Amino acid sequence: MKGEEVLAILRQAAPEHYACAWDNVGLLVGSSKKEVKRIYLALDATDEVVEQAVSCGADLLVTHHPLIFSGLKRVTDEDFIGRRVQKLIAHDISYYAMHTSFDVSKMADLAAERLGFVAPQALEEMFEEDGETKGIGKIGNLAQEMTLASCAQFVKKAFEIPAVKVFGNPKQKVKRAAVCPGSGKSEIPFALQKGAEVLITGDIDHHDGIDAVAQGLCVIDAGHYGLEHIFVPYMKEYLDTRCRQVEVIMREDIFPFEVV
């Protein structure tokens, strides 16, 4: 399948103009002209992921988080990003990143669906397209009121994760919820503004957590990877149905850390 055709399908899933201005999405390494017979999918372009893409003979690596985030002044073997880029180029592997473009187009929807949100709406509204408000995160009602402790267990089951961190009284009842997969401390003001009783997100530090509770918002920190790993199986199914001539291989779901 022509590379340009595959990229067009990726852009249908997450239009690049949806991305936040500070982000770096799209084709970051390689050519759009090459033939694509095998795609490797992962959340991050780590050393291990790049090596697995090479080992399986991938023509295209697709990740959620971009390997190249800020501007590069040089590509050498003197830093880990340069080494990864060099390896991709040496093995003729093109590389495409779908970060906040995917967050806006699909990630929050997927998370809200797993949580069974009723009447979800954009949490941080960014723009309107075709009569629909697009943005970061979702806010809606849980199917039923529950304690914060029960909600934490519900989140663990919905995202198949072993542990979460909870800020707030475990016995407090919650129903109106916001979710922001990834790093969501910047969404706390939007969650408060829209009346959320609990925010489900990742990367919440001590002060953000206790300050949110002081303002009436409980927080369930399910981890950055914990909420965003849903990107990989979704994109596997998406590409399998649209790129039937291409073999799509997804990285095994391995958490990048352990709680011991």
User: Residue 53: pLDDT band by 50, 70, 90 thresholds?
Assistant: very high
DSSP state letter for 71: P
Parallel, antiparallel or unpaired: strands 38-42 and 247-250: parallel
pLDDT single digits (tens) 138-172: 999 999 999 999 999 999 999 999 999 999 999 99
Q: What are phi and psi of 239, to 5 degrees?
A: -75, -35
Least confident of 25-34, 66-75, 131-140: 66-75
Parallel, antiparallel or unpaired: strands 165-167 and 218-221: antiparallel
The answer to whether 135 and 158 have CB atoms below 8 angstroms apart is: no
Segment 178-199 shows an average pLDDT of 98
The Cα 169–Cα 221 span in angstroms is 14
Answer whether residue 134 shows pLDDT above 90: yes
Answer whether residue 107 shows pLDDT above 90: yes
The Cα 7–Cα 14 span in angstroms is 10
DSSP 105-133: IIIHHHHHHHTT-EEEEEEEEEEEETTEE
pLDDT for 260: 82
Percent of the chain with pLDDT over 70: 100
The Cα 182–Cα 185 span in angstroms is 10
pLDDT for 71: 81
Segment 65-80 shows an average pLDDT of 92
Segment 191-210 shows an average pLDDT of 98
Least confident of 68-72, 175-179, 210-214, 243-247: 68-72
Answer whether residue 41 shows pLDDT above 90: yes
User: Residue 36: pLDDT band by 50, 70, 90 thresholds?
Assistant: very high
pLDDT for 169: 98
User: Residue 259: pLDDT band by 50, 70, 90 thresholds?
Assistant: confident
Encode burial over 171-203: b for 16+ CB neighbours within 10 A, e otherwise: eeebbbbbbbbbebbebbebbeebebbbbbbbe
Query: Which three-class secondary structure state does DSSP give residue 72?
Result: coil
Structure tokens, 234: 């979704």
Mean pLDDT of the chain: 97
Segment 92-99 shows an average pLDDT of 98
Structure tokens, 251: 């990285």
Answer whether residue 229 shows pLDDT above 90: yes
Answer whether residue 257 shows pLDDT above 90: no
Query: Which three-class secondary structure state does DSSP give residue 214?
Result: helix
Percent of the chain with pLDDT over 90: 95
What residue ranges define each of the domains in the chain, with the CATH number in brackets?
3-99+229-250 (3.40.1390.30), 102-224 (3.40.1390.30)
pLDDT for 72: 87
